[in-house]
Structure 1
Amino acid sequence: MRISKSDKKFHGIKAARRILIAVLAVSALATALVGYTSFRLSGIVDPAVQAQQDLARSVYRRTHAPDLHPFDGAPELTTWAWSGSAAMPEPDLVRAKSVLLACADSGEVLFEKNADELIPPASMTKLVAMYTALRAVANGEVSLDDSVPLPEESWARNIPPGSSLMFLGPGQNVTLDEILTGMAVVSGNDAAIALACHVSGSVPAFVARMNDEIRRLGLRKTVFVEPSGLSENNRTTAREFASFALSYIREFPETLERYHSKRDLSYPLPGNRAKGNNEPAVYQRATNTLLATLEGCDGLKTGFIYESGFNICLTAERNGTRFLALIMGGPGRTIREGVRIRDRDGNSIMEWVFANRRVVPTRDAVPVPLTVWGGRETGLWAIPAGTGFMVHPAGALLSVQTVLPRSIDAPIAAGTRIGSVDYLADGKVVHSVPLVADRNIERAPGPLVLLDYLASRCAELLLSNGRRSE
C-alpha cells in the first residue's frame, strides 16, 4: 500500500510536533531545574544560635586537638608555620638550658630550645599557688580582704636559711591580698605557706589542689610537692609552664598590674605589726629585675634553686602586643652572675621578637553561608573555629585567601571542618583559621536527594569554579 504525499506530510507534522513537545518538555524541565538550582544556591539560612555555634567549635577543638595543640601537655600552645631569614639568635647565644617563646594572644610558639626537658620550676611554683588561690577567690571560698592567720610554720624565722621572705611573724595582721603581693614581688616562701594553710587548711591539702588545677588545664608532666618552690621534686617543662602561664594571664589579667609589675615591697607596715611591736619595715626590690630595664615588662615570676638553675617566666607588652617567654636552667656560678645571664637572655629574646614579629587580629575569618545538597536543611554556615590573632614577620607582604567549597552534600555533623581562611606572608601560609559546620544536617528522603543530585550537577555547569578563593 502506497502512502500518499498528504499522508507523509501529516505524519511528518505529527513527528515534528512530538519532537517539539519533547523539546519543550525538556526545556521546561531544564528551566525548572536551573531555576531550582539558582534558588538553592542563592538561598541563605539563618545562622545557628550562639550555643549551637559554641558547641560546634568545641567539637572541632576536641576532635582536632593534635592539629590545634600539637605539643603534648601544652593545650594553650600551637605551632607557627613560618620560618625565614629573620631567624632567632643562635641557641648558643641563649645560655639557658630550656627556652620557649610564644605569642600571648594566639598561643603560637615562635622559638624553643629543649622545651620538653623536666626542670624544677623553683619559685615559679608560686604562680600556680597564686592561681589556685585566685580560683578559690573567684569561687567565693575566700576573699582578698580576708585576714590571714599566720601558723607558726609560716613565720620567717622558721623558714630554711637563705630563703626569700616576706618576713611574716607572730601576731601580725595581714590580708590575703598582701600575702599574694609578697609572693609575687619578693617571692616570700613564708607567704606561700600562709596562703596554703588559709585556702585549704594545710599545706598538703593545698598542694593536692594545685595539682588538680594543672590537671584540669591539661598539663601532664608538671607536678608539685609543696607550694613555695623550694623542693627539687617540683617538676615542669618550659612548654607546659608556658601553657599554664597563658591560662593564668588570660583568666586573671588584673594580676599583672596588681601584683606582678610592682618593683618593690616594704613589710611589715604599721598596720601589719603586732600590738606593741615597733619593728621597722623591711624594704626589698622585686626579684624580677627586668621590670626596671625591659620596656613593657610587667611580669611574671623568677625562680632559683641550685637543682634548677636560674628560671624566669617573663612577659612584656608593647602597643597592645604581648609575648611570653619561659627561660629555665640558666647558668651562674653566683647569684649575681646567674641573674645577669638570665636578664640578658630575657632581654635578648624579647627585644628580638618585638623587632621582628607583628601580631594582628584575624578579622577576615568571618562566618560564610553554604548550600547543602540532599539534606533535611538547605544550608548552613561555615564558622571560624580558630584563634583570633596571628603572628607574621615584620615587613612581610600580607594576603588572605578563603578556601571553601560552594556547596557540600549531606549528611554533615556540627564541627566538621569544611574550609579555612589562610593568611599568607610573602606568599607563604603563616596562619590558618578552620571553618566548620555550625549544625548537624541529616540526609533527606530519597526523592529530594535525587532532585538535589540533579541540581548539584546543574550547579557544576552553571558555575565556572566549584571553590571559593578570595
Structure 2
Amino acid sequence: MKREIRNKLLAISMAFVMIFGLFQPTNFVQAEAQLDVRADAAILIEASSGRVLFEKNADTVLGIASMTKMMTEYLLLEAIKEGRVKWDQEYSVTEYVWRLSQDRSLSNVPLRRDGKYNLRELYEAMVIYSANGATAAIAEVIGGSEANFVKKMNEKAQELGLENYKFVNSHGLNNRDLKGMHPEGTGPEEENVMSARATGKLAYRILKDFPEVLDTASIDKKKFREGTDDEIKMENWNWMLPSLVFGYEGVDGLKTGTTDFAGYCFTGTASRDGKRFITVVMNAKNANGQGNYKARFDETRKMLDYAFSNYAIEEILPANSKIKGNESLPVIKGKKDKVKLFTKDPIEMVILNGEKGQYKPVVVLDKKKLNKKGELTAPVKKGDVVGYVTIKAKGDKTISFLDDKATNQIKVELIAAEDVEKANWFILMMRGIGDFFSGIWKSAASLF
C-alpha cells in the first residue's frame, strides 16, 4: 500500500515538473551558450547583416600580424575596380622589396632583383601564401612608396568607420624585421594593431565590397611562376580550407597572421546552407595556454560550430505587415480622415533557433511629414513613405551590429497602403462648419 502511494506521489511530482517546464519562457538568454574561446580577443559575426553574435575583449587593441594584408587586398581591389591599376600591369622590383622577399625565414616568394611581375601574380602570392615581399610590391604600385601606401591604409580605415587601429606597414611584419627599411614616418619598434571588432569589420567590408577576394583566398595550393626556374609551391596558410589539414566544410577565407608580438591570429569565414559567418581570433592558445597554429583553428572551429548549429536566418516580419497600434495615420484635408499603413519589405535576421517570438516591431514615424498633431496632409499617394519599422528584442537583450549602416539591415519603410485624395473646397467648408458647431456644443455641455 505504502509503495503504491509512493509511486502515485512520484508520478504527480513528475507531472508537475513537466507541466512547469512547458510554461517556462524560452531560453532566449540561456541559449547563447557561453563560448570558451581561448584567445586574447575574439568576435563572431553574421556576414550578410553584420550582426555580432559573440565577442570577447572585442575592443582591446592587439597585434594583427598578416591579417594586415586584408587592408592591402581591399585597396588593391578598389584600385582595380576604379581602373587606376590593371591585373596585367608590370612591376619592377625595388631594392627594398628584393631584400625583403629574399628572407625565407619570413613567408615569401623570392623575387628577382631585375625581375618584372604582374599584379595578378603578386596578389595571388599575397593572398594564398601571405608573401611579404609581394605585398610590399603591391603597396609601391598603388602608393608610389610603402610610406604613402600606409597613409592610404589609415585613411581607408577611417573611411570604413573602423576604430582602434594603426597601420605602420603594408604586410604586418614587425617593423624591426625590415632591418632599417621600415616606412618613413614609422618607428623601428612599431607594429600594426587593431581590435577584434575592427578586424571583423574590415573582413565584413571586403566581403561586401569585393566578394571576389574569396576566389583567390579559397585556393588551397598554387605554383608561383609555374614552369619557370622561379617556380615555388604555395600552400595556403589557412589550414581550415576543406582540403587542408584542419579542413572545415564551407571555409573559403580569409587571412591568417603570426608574429611574436601578435601571437597566432586568424580571420576566418565559412558559408553553408545560405548562411555565412565571419570569425576573428587574436593570440589564440590551446588548453595548456600555449599558442600554436592548431590553436587558432581550433578556437575558430568552436565559433563556427556554435554559429551553424544554433543560428538560422528567419523572416521576423513579412512584407505588407500591419503594425499593431500603428495600423493607420490620421489625415487632414482629405476625402478620408485616415490612411492605412503597412511595411514595404520583409525583415529578415539571423537569430538563435526558437527565439523568433522574442522580437517585436518598433515604428518610427517621419515627423517632418506630420503636423504638430501627428497628422498627414492630403493628398497622400499609395507607397508614400511615412517612417520606418525596425526590430527590437524583448526584455533587456540587445541586438548588436558592427555599425549603424549594418543596423539598417533590420529597418524597412512604413508606407501608405492607399491613396487619399484631397477633398474639394465645399467638403472642407462643410467640415469646418461642423467642427465649429461641434466646438460650441462641447463648450456649452461643459458648463453643465
TM range (shorter): 0.5 to 0.7
- Answer yes or no: is the 8 Å Cα contact 1:332–1:341 preserved in 2: yes
Q: CA deviation at 1:207?
A: 1.1
- Answer yes or no: is the 8 Å Cα contact 2:41–2:196 preserved in 1: yes
1:337–1:98 CA distance, 2 compared to 1 (3 A): closer
Report whether the alignment pairs 1:325 with 2:279.
yes
Q: TM-score, normalised by structure 2?
A: 0.68
SS state of the match for residue 155, structure 1? Answer: helix
- Residue 256 of structure 2 corresponds to which residue in structure 1? 302
Candidates 246, 262, 283, aligned match of 2:233: 283
Candidates 407, 410, 414, aligned match of 2:371: 410
1:86–1:142 CA distance, 2 compared to 1 (3 A): same
Aligned pairs (5 A) from 1:81-160: 83-91=28-36, 94-155=37-98
- Answer yes or no: is the 8 Å Cα contact 2:41–2:60 preserved in 1: yes
- Mapped to 2, the partners of 1:87 and 1:429 lie a distance apart of 12
Residue identity in the other structure for 1:389:
E
- Answer yes or no: is the 8 Å Cα contact 1:153–1:159 preserved in 2: no
Residue identity in the other structure for 1:284:
M
- Answer yes or no: is the 8 Å Cα contact 2:284–2:291 preserved in 1: no
Candidates 214, 217, 222, aligned match of 1:265: 222
Higher-Rg structure is 1
- Residue 255 of structure 1 corresponds to which residue in structure 2? 213
Paired residues in the alignment total 354
* Residue ranges of structure 1 left out of the alignment (5+ in a row): 1-81, 440-446, 459-470
- Mapped to 1, the partners of 2:254 and 2:77 lie a distance apart of 15
Residue identity in the other structure for 2:65:
A
- Residue 419 of structure 2 corresponds to which residue in structure 1? none
Aligned pairs (5 A) from 1:65-76: none
- Residue 309 of structure 2 corresponds to which residue in structure 1? 355
Q: CA deviation at 1:376?
A: 9.4
Is 416-425 or 202-211 further displaced after alignment? 416-425
Q: CA deviation at 1:370?
A: 4.8
Is 240-249 or 142-151 further displaced after alignment? 142-151
- Mapped to 1, the partners of 2:155 and 2:393 lie a distance apart of 38
Per-residue CA deviations over 1:114-163 (Å, capped at 9, x if unaligned) read 11110111100001011011111111100122222222222266555621
- Answer yes or no: is the 8 Å Cα contact 2:125–2:234 preserved in 1: no
- Residue 204 of structure 2 corresponds to which residue in structure 1? 246
SS state of the match for residue 271, structure 2? Answer: strand
SS state of the match for residue 290, structure 1? Answer: coil
- Mapped to 2, the partners of 1:371 and 1:416 lie a distance apart of 9
Q: TM-score, normalised by structure 1?
A: 0.65
- Mapped to 2, the partners of 1:328 and 1:375 lie a distance apart of 62
Candidates 372, 376, 390, aligned match of 2:349: 390
Q: CA deviation at 1:241?
A: 1.2
- Mapped to 2, the partners of 1:158 and 1:400 lie a distance apart of 54
Candidates 175, 186, 195, aligned match of 2:138: 195
- Report the identity percentage: 25
Q: CA deviation at 1:284?
A: 2.8
Residue identity in the other structure for 1:289:
W
Q: CA deviation at 1:200?
A: 1.7
- Mapped to 1, the partners of 2:234 and 2:194 lie a distance apart of 28
User: What's the RMSD between the two structures over aligned residues?
Assistant: 4.1
- Answer yes or no: is the 8 Å Cα contact 1:124–1:303 preserved in 2: yes
1:333–1:355 CA distance, 2 compared to 1 (3 A): closer
Q: CA deviation at 1:268?
A: 2.6
Residue identity in the other structure for 2:220:
R
- Answer yes or no: is the 8 Å Cα contact 1:360–1:389 preserved in 2: yes
